[in-house]
Amino acid sequence: MLTVKDLSVMFQTRRGAVDAVRGISFEVSKGEILGIVGESGSGKSVTSYALMRILDIGGTIKAGEATYSGVDLRRAAERDMRDIRGREISMIFQNPRAALNPIRKVGHQIEDVLRQHAQATRYDARRKAIAAMEAVKINDAANRYDAYPFELSGGMCQRIVCAIALACNPRLLIADEPTTGLDITTQKAVMDLVRDLIRERNMSSILITHDLGLAAQYCDRLLVMKDGRIVEQGDPTQIFSQPQHSYSRKLVDATPRTGASVRDLLPKDMRAAAPVLNPSSAPILEVRNLVKTYAGKSGPVQAVKGISFKINRGQCVGLVGESGCGKSTTSEMLVRLMDATAGQIVFDGGDIAKIPARAFAKDPRRADIQMVFQDATDSLNPRYTARQTIAEPLRRLGKMRGRARSARIEELAGLVGLPLSLLDRFPHQLSGGQKARVGIARAVALEPKFLILDEPTAALDVSIQALVLNLLVDLRAKLGLSYLFVSHDLHVVRLLCDHVIVMKDGQIVEQGPAQQIMVNPQDDYTKSLIAAAPKPPERAIEIPRPELEKTHVEQTAIHDKRAS
Amino acid sequence: MTDTTPTDLPRQKGQMGHIIYVLRANPVTLIAFGMFAFLILSAVFGPALVPYDPLATNASNALQPPSWAHWFGTDQIGRDVFSRVIVATRLDLTISVAAVTISFVVGSVLGCIAGYWGGWLDIILNRCLDTIMAFPLFVLAMGIVAALGNTVENIIYATAIINMPFYARLVRAEVNIRRDAGFVRAAKLAGSSDVRVLATQIFPNALPPMMVQVSLNLGWAILNAAGLSFIGLGVSPPTAEWGIMVAEGANFIVSGEWWLALFPGLWLMFAVFTFNLLGDGLRDIVDPRKRT
């Protein structure tokens, strides 16, 4: 149905031409769901943009063919492309809120597509738009028709985007990271819906994602991309159980899954011995009846409703919940950036909730409680180099000057595995993983006793996530830190934490040892969280197979020939 | 930011390299900087280099058209227009730079306060700024001049007050969107007080859009100063100033002595045009993200 042959895409940038896609070939047959998996910069999104001919300025298809049921997508006139987009091939974009026009009613946005492709007239557009909304299982579609995007939840917005994409009954659906940024239970709901619709309408689909587990669960066939090339393709179970290429093996290894320890995420040759952790039973932090109330438009809103828990010295506690459950509010209060409405935070024997957040900057305990922020890009000042960023706490709280500070910065860079040559770069000159390392170096600069990790790996590729998680484990062992690990991903939490707290609507619904929560959850909400996580196929037990290694070599050789 | 560590050295080299890069990548910026350099040079060295005393009258040589002796001709009392135009650069630039500096500083402080702390402070400040913005410049200038006297300083104050709300608004918006950014919270965790966070972390990030505003405003301030002089407020004759010269020359256009008004007007236009072109280049220079 779609045949891509030797497709190459090039971008003209300030630093010269950059090859984003280097000669890839693949096919999508009717009724098939093809998964394209790769990490950021692998060219997977660019491939889909090239097929739709919506490349950014400076991007051109350098070579190759792309044929969609007889139409040459590379040479088709812009007029014809406009006809094809939406009606024949349509796309679901990554961020549903950005993909929808914020100031137009969602119903009108569906109508636009219908009328653009002459699928509806002025008189029946409304009816057809509502039908399209019903098709994506939006309850009470007639009323939602008049809603604006900001009035809908993230998952609901993504359903609207699906409705727009599917309104004209396209035959090929390209979904570019359709569930990134959505909660795990919403992700499952949206993905199940998309899969069912594709099957029902006998459409084909390309699912682009960085999440190998998700792709394996929903796709018939997988392509693994790296640096603009396809390194491996095949059946998901086969890729998972016997990855042929070293890169796909690395990806498979790095995907958090049941039964794997944090060390198992790393490629085999990088695995060090498991660190020795000895959490004590003396609490370093105790939270008692913590409450946070915001003044909302319709009365006060309780974000955190009287929670209590304990963190022992050297322990890692996971705080799990979906967006809006109050986990971020809790961590902000613990790190003393926000004042609690009521309750106590006993740290090292003293109640720090009594000290207002504003005055805590001058408190001697400031250096003992630090935080690693969720978004490494957002948490680094774009005007500061990595060195200046790490120097900030040393200068302000450590009162270190001159050479002593430089030495300490370099020591920290070594500790978090940041090459010294990168210290004088600005954040935009660093990769996601490097930025995360800078953020971690800053947080541990003053050797805090207690570190809050607010989804430190949420924005990272899986292989980088594996490295960062291992770094965190090593730091914990080396510096004897206590962690509060805030995350929505139970699989990641399980890797790091001894104890897990599950939060929902500002309350703790369940807490206990990590293993017990994962294996035998008591609360229905915890059960649904665990059930919603993508389940990659079980990995076959690895037995060294010489004949397999040989085929692997052959395959790479063939591939390289094709690519060059 | 304040103390110098060995790390500042390569950074400064990078800054120079970046400036060169920006100038090279954008020829318009290069031209604008060239024009700006010319204005600065004529302001600094102009009074020493001009062929005639800008105030010396010579009744026998009045209203001469442009010639080799008098490039821009002479005015009604025989003063050399070219010398006057060049000498006026210093006064006009001083007025506009001083006015813009004052409004930049005051506007930044007010904008930071309003944007960072918000609440009732923000509301009150904003309404005050709205009031100032609603005030016509010339009415305000007349009020100030009437109350305080007809001096250059008062013209500077009037222009500064009128421009200030634009800076305050811009800074307020830029500060507001970064108030809860991760790097701001991280700086607080590093023990920085609110004021320090504001000054070292948030405000520098507002500089790129501010630079565009500054350069546009410099041109606008020159135009304002000239306009105020034109209607007789501020700088008074016989001081050489572009606005007065245009005002005085305007009376002679009908009788055919066009050079009296045209050349100071051209210089005014040149200066304003230069500042308008400068904006994008300045923004690119202060924005580290433009570096590769």
Q: Are A194 and A145 members of one domain?
A: no
Nearest to B183 among A370, A381, A406 (CB): A381
Q: For residues A252 and A244, what is the distance between their CA atoms, to the nearest angstrom? A: 11
CA dihedral B118, B120, B124, B127 (to 10 degrees): 70
Closest CA to B97 of B256, B246, B261, B219: B219
A459 pLDDT above the threshold of 50: yes
- For A377-401, give one letter per residue: b (16+ CB within 10 A) or e: bbbbbbbbbbbbbbbbbbbbbbebe
On chain A, the residues whose CB falls within 8 A of the CB of B1 are 388
Q: Are A199 and A63 members of one domain?
A: yes
B45 in contact with A, Cβ within 8 Å? no
Q: Are A69 and A116 members of one domain?
A: no
ipTM over 0.85: no
Residue range B17-290, CATH number: 1.10.3720.10
Residue A209 lies in domain: 1-88+173-255+536-564
On chain A, the residues whose CB falls within 8 A of the CB of B190 are 392-393, 396-397, 442
Q: What is the pLDDT, as a whole number, of residue B106?
A: 94
Q: What is the pLDDT, as a whole number, of residue A14?
A: 67
Q: For residues B154 and B142, what is the distance between their CA atoms, to the nearest angstrom? A: 10
Q: What is the pLDDT, as a whole number, of residue A547?
A: 43
**Interface with B, mutate which of A377, A383, A447 (most B CBs under 10 A):** A383
For residues B230 and B81, the answer to whether their CB atoms sit within 8 Å is no
Contact B191 A361 (CB under 8 A): yes
Q: For residues B25 and A63, what is the distance between their CA atoms, to the nearest angstrom? A: 29
Least CA distance to A357: which residue of chain B? B188
Name which residue leads in pLDDT, B247 or A148: A148
Name which residue leads in pLDDT, A133 or B24: A133
- What mean pLDDT value characterizes chain A? 84
For residues B97 and B115, the answer to whether their CB atoms sit within 8 Å is no
**What residues are paired with A22 via a beta bridge?**
A8
B4 in contact with A, Cβ within 8 Å? no
Q: Are A156 and A178 members of one domain?
A: no
Q: What is the pLDDT, as a whole number, of residue A138?
A: 83
Name which residue leads in pLDDT, B257 or A26: A26
Q: Are A311 and A454 members of one domain?
A: yes
Q: What's the average model confidence in pLDDT over B72-87?
A: 81
Closest CA–CA distance from residue B129 to any residue of chain A (Å): 27
Q: Are A342 and A223 members of one domain?
A: no
Of A108-112, A124-128, A279-283, A287-291, give the lowest mean pLDDT range.
Answer: A279-283
On chain A, the residues whose CB falls within 8 A of the CB of B288 are 382-383, 426, 428
Confidence of residue A501 (pLDDT cuts 50, 70, 90): very high
- How many structural domains are present in chain A? 3
Based on its alpha-carbon atoms, the radius of gyration of chain A, rounded to whole angstroms, reads 25
* Number of C-beta neighbours around residue A301 at 10 A: 12
Confidence of residue B102 (pLDDT cuts 50, 70, 90): very high
CA distances B151 to B97, B147, B155, B158, B256, Å, are 16, 11, 7, 11, 32
Nearest to B189 among A335, A378, A426 (CB): A335
User: Please, what sign has the CA dihedral across residues A469, A475, A477, A483?
Assistant: negative
Of A432-436, B9-13, B55-59, B83-87, give the lowest mean pLDDT range.
Answer: B9-13
Q: For residues A355 and A349, what is the distance between their CA atoms, to the nearest angstrom? A: 14
Contact B189 A337 (CB under 8 A): yes
On chain A, the residues whose CB falls within 8 A of the CB of B10 are 424
A537 pLDDT above the threshold of 80: no
A405 belongs to a structural domain = yes
CA dihedral A92, A98, A100, A105 (to 10 degrees): 150
**Interface with B, mutate which of A378, A400, A420, A423 (most B CBs under 10 A):** A378
Q: Are A372 and A489 members of one domain?
A: yes
Q: Are A217 and A251 members of one domain?
A: yes
Closest CA–CA distance from residue A192 to any residue of chain B (Å): 34
Q: Are A177 and A164 members of one domain?
A: no
A76 belongs to a structural domain = yes
**Window 186-205 of B, Cβ < 8 Å to A:** 186-194, 196, 201, 204-205
**Interface with B, mutate which of A332, A381, A409, A424 (most B CBs under 10 A):** A381
On chain A, the residues whose CB falls within 8 A of the CB of B183 are 378-381, 384, 389
Question: How many A×B Cβ pairs under 8 Å?
Answer: 92
Q: What is the pLDDT, as a whole number, of residue A539?
A: 58
Q: What is the CATH number of the domain that holds A394?
A: 3.40.50.300
Confidence of residue B58 (pLDDT cuts 50, 70, 90): confident
Query: Which stretches of B78-136 are DSSP H helices?
Result: 81-117, 119-134
Of A38-47, A81-90, A367-376, B228-237, give the lowest mean pLDDT range.
Answer: B228-237
| Structure tokens that stand for A277 in this block | 């952790």
Nearest to A381 among B25, B196, B201 (CB): B201
Helix, strand, coil percentages for chain B (3-state, nearest 5) = 75, 0, 25
| Structure tokens that stand for A329 in this block | 């509010």
Residues 6 or more apart in contact with residue A332 via CB below 8 angstroms: A338
- Counting DSSP H helices and E strands in chain B, the numbers are 11, 0
Closest CA–CA distance from residue A392 to any residue of chain B (Å): 6
- For B13-36, give one letter per residue: b (16+ CB within 10 A) or e: ebeeebeebbbeeeeebeebbebb
| Structure tokens that stand for A403 in this block | 């050479």
Contact B181 A378 (CB under 8 A): yes
Contact B192 A381 (CB under 8 A): no
Read off the pLDDT of residues B135-162 as tens digits, 9 standing for 90 and up: 887 788 788 877 887 788 888 888 888 8
Q: Are A143 and A13 members of one domain?
A: no
Q: What is the pLDDT, as a whole number, of residue A484?
A: 92
Q: Are A224 and A192 members of one domain?
A: yes
Contact B5 A405 (CB under 8 A): yes
Q: What's the average model confidence in pLDDT over A491-497?
A: 84
Model confidence pTM above 0.95: no
State how far Cα A225 lies from the chain centre. Answer: 18
Closest CA–CA distance from residue A27 to any residue of chain B (Å): 37
Which range among A297-301, A368-372, B71-75 has the greatest average pLDDT?
A368-372
Q: In sequence order, what DSSP letters do the residues of B189-224 get, joined into one string?
A: HTT--HHHIIIIIIGGGGHHHHHHHHHHHHHHHHHH
Least CA distance to B208: which residue of chain A? A383
Q: DSSP label at B59?
A: G
Would you tell me the crossing angle of helices A184-201 and A524-532 to the nearest 10 degrees?
50
Q: DSSP 3-state assignment of A414?
A: helix
Q: Are A455 and A490 members of one domain?
A: yes
Confidence of residue A207 (pLDDT cuts 50, 70, 90): very high
Q: DSSP label at A395?
A: H
B119 in contact with A, Cβ within 8 Å? no
Q: DSSP label at A58?
A: T
Residues 6 or more apart in contact with residue A514 via CB below 8 angstroms: A318, A493, A494, A497, A498, A499, A500
For residues B227 and B243, the answer to whether their CB atoms sit within 8 Å is yes
B285 pLDDT above the threshold of 50: yes
Closest CA–CA distance from residue A406 to any residue of chain B (Å): 8
- For B123-151, give one letter per residue: b (16+ CB within 10 A) or e: eebbeebeeeeeeebeebbbebbeeeeee
Confidence of residue B292 (pLDDT cuts 50, 70, 90): low
Contact A426 B289 (CB under 8 A): yes
Q: For residues A337 and A287, what is the distance between their CA atoms, to the nearest angstrom? A: 16
Kindly state the percentage of chain A with pLDDT values over 70: 95
Contact B194 A358 (CB under 8 A): yes
Numbered residues of chain A with Cβ closer than 8 Å to any chain B Cβ:
14-15, 335, 337, 358, 361-362, 366-367, 369-371, 373-375, 378-385, 387-389, 391-393, 396-397, 401-402, 405-406, 423-424, 426, 428-429, 439, 442-443
For residues A510 and A477, the answer to whether their CB atoms sit within 8 Å is no
Q: What is the pLDDT, as a whole number, of residue B172?
A: 92
Contact B185 A361 (CB under 8 A): no
A402 belongs to a structural domain = yes
Contact A379 B181 (CB under 8 A): yes
Read off the pLDDT of residues A337-365 as tens digits, 9 standing for 90 and up: 888 888 889 988 888 888 888 888 888 88
Name which residue leads in pLDDT, A553 or A416: A416
Confidence of residue B14 (pLDDT cuts 50, 70, 90): low
Closest CA to A563 of A212, A44, A63, A54: A63
Peptide bond into B238 cis (omega under 30): yes
For residues A343 and A310, the answer to whether their CB atoms sit within 8 Å is no
**What residues are paired with A350 via a beta bridge?**
A347
Q: What's the average model confidence in pLDDT over A331-337?
A: 89
A288 belongs to a structural domain = yes
